[in-house]
């Protein structure tokens, strides 16, 4: 009988670390490689849905997050001119989940929790400043070539997981297509000390406007009072340095407030946004997860959550295959479940969220906002909406796919 070896996970972001932690808890020796010298300080994602919190609870992650994060039981859809269209109450999901709320916590505060827990396992190792170069497959394993501070070397492993982001070197090495498109505008993220609660905003809100929609998230930062993270679309023809300049950012923040405020803006960043799905999530002994497999716009907070859903779907299956308790075809089930839900739900929902906020045709715009009001006024329809927007429905749908 062949001696079982390690599993290599490429990428020490949330998806890679949750995958590695889940495998380690099941007795699988894991090596995580990360090209950066340390965990990254990503300012984009940070809103976690109920099923994501449920999934990470057995790993010991969720309780730590709850101690640090902000619970968000209500969120709004607003119109720049007409104000609040709907304020959704996640308490409607109290009989469906032990976490009837969103949780806001910066992504860069989740990864240290996962890394600390992972390092408690003697069979787990994390190699920073180490890049994936290539991989070759054989019937009984994978040989990964990596480049670290001492040059290139190879790591023999049973399976390899590519969780190395949208520019995934693992995906590219497999020759897997990444079909989809890139949105024309850049997204600008401004973190501000301006307290939006006195203006009537919930800790998560979306403001529809045909020219300048806004997405709002309150983040804990280093503790009370926290920071408000505000996202805007920007003209791709305006130079990035102009977009990030304080006067430009201050004009945007002041633009949706009833009065000019006195506040600081400690963080500003902008980035391009893509809607893409890999043609395959698995080829032989190499599997893709998270942004390496799919990317989408951030409206609705579906990206990071769906990546963690990939990880939690994958690691029990992969551990069973590794241990010889399940056939390798179980990894095809992972691919079918996660890819189908990504296409049917994550991509469609995130595009629909953006279209709602930016619709320019006054008639269509009015119809869509009225539809949202009608849904909110019907308790059955409202719960169905929240089941979908909170990703409970997509997780249950994935479980139905054989």
Residues of the chain above pLDDT 90, percent: 96
* Cβ-proximal residues to 402 (8 Å cutoff; 6+ apart), any chain: 333, 336
Q: What is the pLDDT along the chain (402 residues), one digit of tens a residue?
A: 456 899 999 999 999 999 999 999 999 999 999 999 999 987 778 999 999 999 999 999 999 999 999 999 999 999 999 999 999 999 999 999 999 999 999 999 999 999 999 999 999 999 999 999 999 999 999 999 999 999 999 999 999 999 999 999 999 999 999 999 999 999 999 999 999 999 999 999 999 999 999 999 999 998 889 999 999 999 999 999 999 999 999 999 999 998 887 899 999 999 999 999 999 999 999 999 999 999 999 999 999 999 999 999 999 999 999 999 999 999 999 999 999 999 999 999 999 999 999 999 999 999 999 999 999 999 999 999 999 999 999 999 999 999
Q: What is the sign of the dihedral through the CA atoms of 55, 61, 63 and 69?
A: negative
| Tokens 């090209």 sit on residue | 35
For 261-290, the pLDDT digits (tens) are: 789 999 999 999 999 999 999 999 999 999
For the chain, give every domain's residue range. Answer: 7-72+103-179+274-355
Whole-structure pTM value: 0.96
**Residue 79, CB-side half-sphere exposure with 13 Å CA sphere:** 16
Q: What is the sign of the dihedral through the CA atoms of 2, 5, 10 and 14?
A: positive
∠ Cα 306 308 309 (to 5°): 60
What is the architecture, at CATH level 2, of domain 7-72+103-179+274-355?
3-Layer(bba) Sandwich (3.50)
The per-residue pLDDT for 1 is 40
The per-residue pLDDT for 18 is 98
DSSP state of 198: G
Task: State the burial class of residue 124 (Cβ atoms within 10 Å of its Cβ: 0-12, 13-18, 19+).
Answer: buried
Distances in Å between the alpha carbon of 323 and those of 65, 217, 381? 31, 42, 44
Preceding amide of 225 cis, omega within 30: yes
Tokens representing residue 232 in the block: 């805007």
């Amino acid at each position: 009988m062949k001696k079982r070896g390690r599993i290599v996970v490429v990428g020490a972001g949330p998806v890679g670390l949750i995958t590695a932690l889940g495998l380690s808890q099941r007795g699988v020796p894991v090596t995580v490689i990360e090209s950066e010298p340390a965990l990254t300080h990503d300012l984009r994602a940070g809103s976690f849905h109920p099923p994501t919190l449920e999934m990470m609870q057995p790993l010991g992650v969720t309780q730590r997050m709850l101690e640090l994060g902000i619970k968000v039981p209500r969120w709004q859809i607003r119109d720049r001119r007409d104000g609040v269209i709907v304020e959704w109450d996640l308490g409607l999901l109290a009989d469906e989940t032990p976490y009837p709320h969103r949780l806001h916590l910066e992504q860069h505060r989740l990864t240290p929790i996962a890394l600390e827990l992972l390092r408690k396992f003697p069979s787990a190792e994390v190699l920073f400043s180490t890049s994936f170069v290539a991989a070759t497959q054989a019937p009984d394993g994978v040989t990964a070539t990596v480049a670290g501070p001492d040059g290139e070397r190879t790591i023999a492993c049973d399976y390899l997981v590519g969780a190395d982001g949208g520019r995934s070197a693992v995906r590219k090495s497999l020759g897997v297509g990444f079909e989809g498109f890139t949105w024309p505008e850049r997204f600008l993220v401004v973190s501000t000390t301006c307290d939006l609660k006195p203006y009537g905003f919930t800790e998560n809100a979306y403001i529809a406007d045909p020219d300048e929609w806004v997405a709002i998230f309150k983040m804990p930062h280093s503790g009370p009072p926290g920071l408000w993270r505000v996202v805007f679309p920007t003209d791709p023809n305006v130079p990035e340095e102009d977009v990030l300049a304080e006067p430009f950012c201050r004009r945007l923040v002041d633009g949706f407030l009833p009065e000019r405020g006195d506040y600081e803006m400690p963080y500003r960043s902008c980035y391009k946004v893509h809607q893409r799905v890999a043609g395959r999530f698995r080829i032989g002994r190499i599997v893709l997860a998270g942004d390496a497999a799919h990317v989408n716009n951030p409206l609705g907070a579906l990206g990071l959550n769906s990546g963690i859903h990939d990880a939690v779907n994958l690691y029990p299956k992969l551990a069973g295959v590794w241990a010889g308790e399940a056939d390798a075809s179980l990894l095809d089930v992972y691919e079918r479940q996660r890819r189908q839900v990504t296409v049917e739900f994550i991509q469609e929902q995130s595009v629909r969220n953006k279209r709602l906020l930016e619709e320019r045709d006054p008639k269509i715009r009015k119809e869509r906002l009225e539809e949202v009001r009608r849904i909110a006024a019907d308790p059955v329809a409202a719960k169905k909406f929240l089941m979908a927007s909170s990703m409970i429905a997509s997780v249950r749908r994935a479980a139905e796919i054989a």
